[in-house]
Amino acid sequence: MRRVKIRAESFGGIIFDPDHRTTLYVDREYMKSLGYEDFPDFDHLSAPEVIHVEVTKKCPLKCRYCYAVDRKAEMRTKDMMRLMEILAEMNVFQVAFGGGEPFARDDFVDIASHAYDLGIVPNVTTNGFFVDRIEKLDFFGQINVSLDGAERETYLRARGCDGFERAVKAIKELSESYNVGINTVVSRHNFDKLHEILQLAEDLNVGEVMLIRVKPAGRGAKNYEEVRLSSHQLKRIDGILRSLLDYDVLLRVDCAFMPFLSLDENVLAGMQGCDCGISSIAVKSDGKVLPCSFLNVELGDYERIGEIWRCMDSFRRYEVKECLGCEKYMICRGGCRVFAYEFSKDVFGADVECLKVRNTT
């Protein structure tokens, strides 16, 4: 059992439980009862709760909607190690490793282990191809396996490549010893198969399923018309999510789905709109800092990530004029910044797929 981490904030503080990866926000009075007297003078978090790190572009699969942008440049081992040290100095709680395929990088386990030794909880998303090569994974807080179908046909139709058997094998083997979840990118090709995916997750004793809205980013931008959710599917997503709550699996939902969800606390529990600059930020495999993994707007080099975080007020205070009259605006925050940027080149514009925005423009 690891000790909880406590971080002072302007409003009081955050208590982070590394064993369960949960946070508790407390006020100043509670922090003072713990002996804290000094509080930062920010109107935002002093540091992200989680950093998303793309450790490599390498991957044996070529999924049609992968957000990764092909490039050869990749941070050296010592640079990745230094990034982990900077995050520890900032008092970041968790790092979410992605790719590419993280385990395709020979030094990845060493990088993740270094994060753990520094007091950061490392989590990883994998396609399952290389997990059998790794003997020690017990320092990971969570291992999520990408699975976009409950059977091979749906997986192949959704991704455009076949890794179904390896993914299921990885889930079965890993779930015997580790906290395992499933990441599912929701596209038009598997939208009507989400119940089957949740049932498979339940059958495999998976702890949680994360549903991710397919986005026009990276390879996904080129192939977006092939995979995008139809207007009819977007209208149905709220009802589908409600029905998925009946499974004995924790359901997590990508914040990019916010424009399509009703104000139902059972669906919205723990959710908020875009968290770029609010609680998270991202680093690409070449060391460039991004607002999020899907939004390819470079903010600077990783050595300056602390300074970049402090200067992200534009991501915290923007207003989307098309959305100001919406009852969900304070929660939704105008939808996903990726859709705004990709279709209007305005990072702070409206999510063009929001059904209300479509009806008013």
- Which region among 52-66, 122-136, 150-164, 260-274 has the lowest average model confidence (pLDDT)? 260-274
pLDDT reading at 22 higher than 90: yes
The tens digit of pLDDT for each residue in 196-251 reads 999 999 999 999 999 999 999 999 999 999 999 999 999 999 999 999 999 999 99
- Which region among 21-25, 128-132, 269-273, 320-324 has the lowest average model confidence (pLDDT)? 269-273
Q: How many CA atoms lie within 13 A of 180 on its CB side?
A: 25
Distance CA(120)–CA(21), nearest Å, equals 11
Q: Could you identify the residue written with the tokens 């789905």?
A: 257
Question: Among the residues of 70-163, which ranges form H helices?
Answer: 77-90, 108-117, 152-159
pTM: 0.95
Q: How confident is the model at residue 70 (pLDDT cuts 50, 70, 90)?
A: low
Sheet (strand 142-146) strand order: 250-253, 208-213, 180-186, 142-146, 121-126, 94-98, 50-54, 280-283, 288-290, 300-301
Q: Is the peptide bond before 100 cis (omega within 30 degrees of 0)?
A: yes
| pLDDT given for residue 265 in this prediction | 64
- For the chain, the structural domain boundaries read 1-41, 50-320
Q: Could you identify the residue written with the tokens 């503080």?
A: 13
The tens digit of pLDDT for each residue in 286-324 reads 999 999 999 999 999 999 999 999 999 999 999 999 999
Q: Which of 45-49, 68-72, 131-135, 267-271 has the highest mean pLDDT?
A: 45-49
Mean pLDDT of the chain: 93
Strands (E), 147-279: 180-186, 208-213, 250-253
Which top CATH class is 50-320?
alpha beta
Distance CA(166)–CA(11), nearest Å, equals 46
The tens digit of pLDDT for each residue in 83-97 reads 999 999 999 999 999
